[in-house]
Structure 1
Amino acid sequence: MHDQGLGSWPARRARMTPDKAALVQHGRTTTYAELADRSHRLAWGLRSRGVQRGDRIAFLGLNSVELVVAMFATARLGAVFLPLNTRLAAPELAHVLGDSGARLLLVDGGLGGGSEIAVAGLEVERLGFRSDGGTGLAALEAEPADELDEPITLDDLFMIQYTSGTSGRPKGVMLTHGNVTWNVMNLLVDVDLGSEEVSLVTAPLFHTAALNQVLLPTLLKGGTALVEAKFDADRCLALIEQHAVSVLFGVTSMYLALAQAPRWAGADLGSLRHALSGGAPIPESLLRTWVERGLMIIQGYGLTESSPGATMLRAADGVRKLGSAGTACFFSDVRVVPTSDADDRTGEVQVQGPNVSPGYWNQPEATRAALDEDGWLRTGDVARVDDDGYLYIVDRLKDMFISGGENVYPAEVERALHTHPDVAECAVVGVPDPTWGEVGRAVVVPRAGARLTEAELLDHLDGRLARYKIPRSVVLCDELPHNASGKLVRTRVRALFGPDHTEGPR
């Protein structure tokens, strides 16, 4: 094949295991032969609509077989796939579509009409389909005139993923075929996936972790991916039992929901071999809850710009290096650049390797700010390194606040709060203070049935943290705001519970 990109993967796998189940959704199975055929037919359908090499094809929909088919069809044409966050409001969708210059928008009709407003005034064609029992994208597929074999290299652009936009306007992260391929290789070196794996995909596929760390490695190895439109804890536990799921991925909030689900205690998790996580460190108490069920959650560190894997804490080191993000993945290099002369073990994490994005779409200044001349990516994350070279993520540089001249990293305070057995989730933000400039405020979600007080939590931190790191106030709430990927949205925490918050502790 001339096509060395990801669009060729279904055909390559279909040569080997044509009748093997590739995708399962709503009880319907798509074999590798069917996936190759459907993506080939949709590629011809898109070509008949004028889609050319380099065009951006946007997709707005929940997890579905249609999303996977559209992604491979787009790649097969040498076009660029643009998966959209389903939680974006119409003005936000309009920004992403306009910024990317998308030619075509594929919309799952089950999401409502917000996309119609988003495309108003833009030169983008909107095509609807239904994935919830309808014909899906079949109406857009066309009879192939011949075999498509575009000369696509690993350096060609595969996808643009827009950052979640938890602060400011989202930027389009460019990922090449090579970036994603090398990321999959990194994952497969660290996680021993086989061709008989059954992976449960419940995190959104517009997010880099679910797509590049779970779905694509599973398909490359010839396993089966159970594709769920969205996450539901009880349903996940049922699917694990019914389909003998062996690979699970989730962020902290998802693993917490599973552990708190009614059927958790009696659920049969014996088929699970790998439980993967990313996005944010999992609290020690939650890790131990899963270890008691026989599973060490494998944590990694990364970001969209590194496709996303940068480091991995292997299962064998899970207990010995509890709380660490591990060491660099096989084909990546990671360094910590000190931010002060006083501490050469703590600094900004920087990543280099074939999985690192070439930059941001149409934003050369942002690209130059993020990447140096040698290709090192400045992540904006702060970590410390222990004597064995293991990274411990401290916090985002931008989330740090200064209290009385001292740097306070919210993630460090949150880890200390999580050592209290009745803390289910928490976030710490800086709020103005006339004496110290800023002080911490802890926003805490208690475990179900727990009766926490501000005094109890602050007393728990006394002796665990330096006094200047201990929050001056605590707000108890029922839930914290998360984005569609399950990540905590700190801007919303600040807006809801920051300096203008007047309600006292619950």
Structure 2
Amino acid sequence: MTENINAALDRAARLFGKNEAVVDGDVRWTYDELDRRVRAFDGELDRLGLMKGDVVGVLALNSAAHLIAWLGAPRSGRVLNEINTRLSTPEIRYILDDSAARMLLVDDAFLEAGRELLRDCDTLDHLVYAGAGQSPADCVSLEVMTTSGSEASPVEVLDEDVAGIFYTGGTTGRPKGVLLSHGNLASNAKHALLCLGYDEHDRYLHAGPMFHLADGASTVALTWVGGAHVIVPGFTPDGWLRAVSEEKITKAMLVPTMITMLMAHEFGPDTDLSSLRSVLYGASPMPQALLATAAERLNTDFCQVYGMTEAAPIVTFMTHEDHRRGLAGEDPDAAVRLRSAGRPVVGVELEIRAPGGGARQPAGEVGEIVVRGPNITSGYLNRPEETAEVLPGDGWYHTGDMGYQDEAGYVFVVDRLKDMIISGGENVYSTEVENALYRHGDVEEVAVFGLPDEQWGEAVHAAVRLRPGSTTTAEMLRDHVRCLLAGFKVPREIHLVDQPLPKSGAGKILKRDLRAEFASRASVEVGAG
């Protein structure tokens, strides 16, 4: 059987055609209507001369139009290129050039950037307008494409054909385009269905960015079973609470930074979260105190996934039951496992190996997390050397994440291999220090990172944002950590900051930015002396 993501919408239209498929402001489409629009979009791509393998870029906020592109661009073998909306125009230009994109879909927020990119990118032939108003004369109208287009010519699409290019954040140098096939995305959708239990009665809220696979993990899965996609342009506490209340949302995905914002927000008298059955979180670990507060205030179950773009993205899953038992506080092992990322999902193999391709590590020993399964990428676009580095030919993807498994198979992610701090010859895992700092009640956000040190090689530093009104000092926080961890793990310096820590589009704290900022400050201070 061919693992083609087109099967998801085909099945939904056949079995759940009259079900509500899309809610986006005033837009309310059934699966019959969504299917018609996606097929028309596919047909218009034919008419505009886009062939199998041609790349369609999307630079837009969350919307019904965005969903059409997600489902329609790969339908006849073309390749979806989801672009992080937080990138600068030069960064986006690099991605479009690197992928040789021929079309770019933009909404009102990115129309001017799209015009500039159309002028400057050699391969870009068409700018598609997906905004709310009348389409400008220099653009192709998505509304016309999706209401006037005809059926596309039949094209065989195989499971190994690339369905999407998803660029990583570029933590080291230029961003890399992760190639994900139809088979990769279809396998991930099945993983999501097994873990999250979507069915035709579910109403899922797209509040995280649709360009990111943290949200995209549910896009194909939910479509496959005929659930409703409820879409807001982006996350705000008010908008999220209103959408859940008014649209009777049953399931949602949030990253911990969004949950932090929600917990700091006052719930209005019209807030009704009684429909909400489950919140999925990922992208980074969640402090246990925040998790307990969120479970109580939202009165819902939580579950967690760990993964990466290269895995399309799900690798491990921590269940609702894991969370219930851990938060109940009656089972010490369950409470400890709340700090884990759960266990490998069905169909994905995971091992902990000594860094550098070494032997498999026993339970409790830290090593590199390596995984394999039908969801794993074939590599990076135009990057053979970097592909060989993470996919050395043994069938396993080397994640670059450091972690360990306990005796029951729960995976504890302790650091990025490149983020591990070596201070005085000792390994310091930043996640361990962050968890210790989060156990202080006044800590709102924290990131731990290493900076060069003449005596120790690297010194442990932490950037901390405190809760409003807190009078806690950096030295008080150091004393707090000293009570929990060995002395060499205590941050040499704790930098108290007033603003939220810098984050990627997926909500991950950007430690590279913090390293650069505080290394620069240190240089200035040394120079001033």
The answer to whether TM tops 0.5 is yes
Among 174, 178, 186, which residue is 2:183 paired with? 178
5 Å-filtered alignment, 1:297-312, equals: 297-312=302-317
| Corresponding residue for residue 122 of structure 2 | 122
Any conservation in 2 of the 1:60–1:84 contact (CA below 8 Å)? yes
| Cα distance in structure 1, aligned partners of 2:129 and 2:393 | 44
Query: What is the CA-CA distance between 1:118 and the residue it aligns to?
Result: 3.2
- Structure 1 residue identity aligned to 2:492: R
**Partner of residue 424, structure 1:** 444
Confirm whether residue 331 of structure 1 aligns to residue 347 of structure 2: yes
Give the SS at the match of 1:111. Answer: helix
Q: Structure 1 residues 100, 121: closer, same or farther in 2, change over 3 A?
A: closer
1-structure distance, mates of 2:174, 2:254: 26
Closer/same/farther in 2, CA of residues 134 and 116 from structure 1, 3 Å limit: closer
Measured in 1, the distance between the counterparts of 2:146 and 2:231 equals 21
Q: Displacement of 1:73 after TM fit? A: 2.1
Q: Distance in 1 between matches of 2:177 and 2:517?
A: 28
In the TM superposition, residue 295 of structure 1 has moved relative to its aligned partner by: 3.0
**Paired position in structure 2 for 1:470:** 490
Code of the aligned partner of 2:506: S
Q: Which amino acid counterpart does residue 95 of structure 1 have in structure 2?
A: Y
Say whether the 8 Å CA contact 2:402–2:413 is kept in structure 1: yes
TM-score (norm 1): 0.94
The one-character-per-residue Cα deviations of 1:444-487 (angstroms, maximum 9, x if unpaired) are: 01112222201110111112111011001111112100112211
Question: Residue 192 in 1 paired to residue 197 in 2?
Answer: yes
Report the counterpart of residue 151 of structure 1 in structure 2: 156
- 1:498 aligns to what SS in structure 2? helix
Quote the residue 2:414 is aligned against.
394
CA distance in 2, matches of 1:443, 1:324: 23
Instruction: Provide, for residues 73-96 of structure 1, a one-character-per-residue CA deviation record: whole Å limited to 9, x for no partner.
Output: 221221111111111112111110
Q: CA deviation at 1:371?
A: 0.9
| 2:307 maps to 1:291 | no
- Residue 238 of structure 2 is matched in structure 1 by 234
Residue matched to 2:329: none
Correspondent of 1:255 among 252, 259, 266? 259
Q: Letter of the aligned partner of 2:124 in structure 1?
A: V
Give the secondary structure class of the aligned counterpart of 1:335: strand
Residue aligned with 2:521, SS? coil
Distance 2:151 2:58 in 1: 26
How many Å separate the matches in 1 of 2:121 and 2:191? 42
How far, CA to CA, are the matches of 1:497 and 1:146 in structure 2? 56
How far apart are residue 4 of structure 1 and its match? 5.6
Q: Return closer, same or farther for 1:265/1:419 CA change in 2, 3 Å cut-off.
A: farther
CA distance in 2 between counterparts of 1:133 and 1:240 reads 27
Q: Does 1:481 align with 2:514?
A: no
Structure 2 equivalent of residue 435 of structure 1? 455
**Distance in 2 between the 1:181 and 1:124 partners?**
29
* Conservation of the 8 A alpha-carbon contact between 1:4 and 1:151: no
**Alpha carbons of structure 1 residues 342 and 240: separation in structure 2 relative to 1, 3 Å:** closer
TM-score, normalised by the number of residues in structure 2: 0.90
CA shift, 1:127, in A, is 1.1
Question: Which residue identity lines up with residue 312 of structure 1 in the other structure?
Answer: F
Report the equivalent of 1:132.
132
- 1:471 and 1:147, CA in 2 relative to 1: closer, same or farther beyond 3 A? closer
Q: 1:75 aligns to what SS in structure 2? A: coil
C-alpha displacement at 1:491, in angstroms? 1.2
Equivalent residue pairs, number: 501
Q: 1:57 to 1:21 in 2, by over 3 A?
A: same
The letter for the 2-side match of 1:349 is I
Shift of 1:439: 1.1
In 1, Cα distance between the equivalents of 2:171 and 2:254? 19
Alignment correspondent of 1:165:
170
The farther-off stretch of 7-16 and 440-449 is 7-16
Q: Is the 8 A contact 1:245 1:271 kept in 2?
A: yes
Shift of 1:316: 1.1
Residues 274 and 297, structure 1, Cα contact 8 Å, conserved in 2 = yes
**Greater alpha carbon shift after TM alignment, 135-144 vs 154-163:** 135-144
For 1:381, the equivalent position in structure 2 comes to 401
Q: Which residue of 2 aligns with 1:110?
A: 109
2:338 to 304, 322, 328: 322
Shift of 1:173: 0.3
* Percent of aligned pairs with the same amino acid: 35
Residues 54 and 483 (structure 1 numbering): CA distance in 2 closer, same or farther, change over 3 Å? same
Contact 2:463–2:497 (CA under 8 A) maintained in structure 1: yes
Secondary structure, counterpart of 1:421 in structure 2: coil
Q: 2:226 aligns with which of 218, 222, 229?
A: 222
1:348 to 353, 361, 368: 368
Which residue among 410, 415, 428 is the counterpart of 1:408? 428
Residue 112 of structure 1: CA displacement? Answer: 4.4
Structure 2 gaps, min length 5: 136-140, 327-333
One of 490, 499, 503 as aligned partner of 2:511: 490
Deviates more, 1:107-116 or 1:16-25: 107-116
1:65 aligns with 2:64: yes
Q: Quick one: distance in 2 between partners of 1:180 and 1:57? A: 17
CA–CA distance in structure 2, aligned partners of residues 429 and 480 of structure 1: 13
1:415 maps to amino acid? N
Partner of 1:41: 40
Residue in structure 1 matching 2:381, options 361, 375, 385: 361
What is the deviation of 1:147?
6.1
Contact 1:310 1:329 in 2 (8 A): yes
The 2-side partners of 1:343 and 1:461 are apart by 28
| Alignment check: 8 A CA contact 2:106 2:131 kept | no
What secondary structure, in the 3-state scheme, does the structure 2 residue paired with 1:113 have? helix
- For residues 417 and 255 of structure 1, what CA distance do their matches in structure 2 show? 18
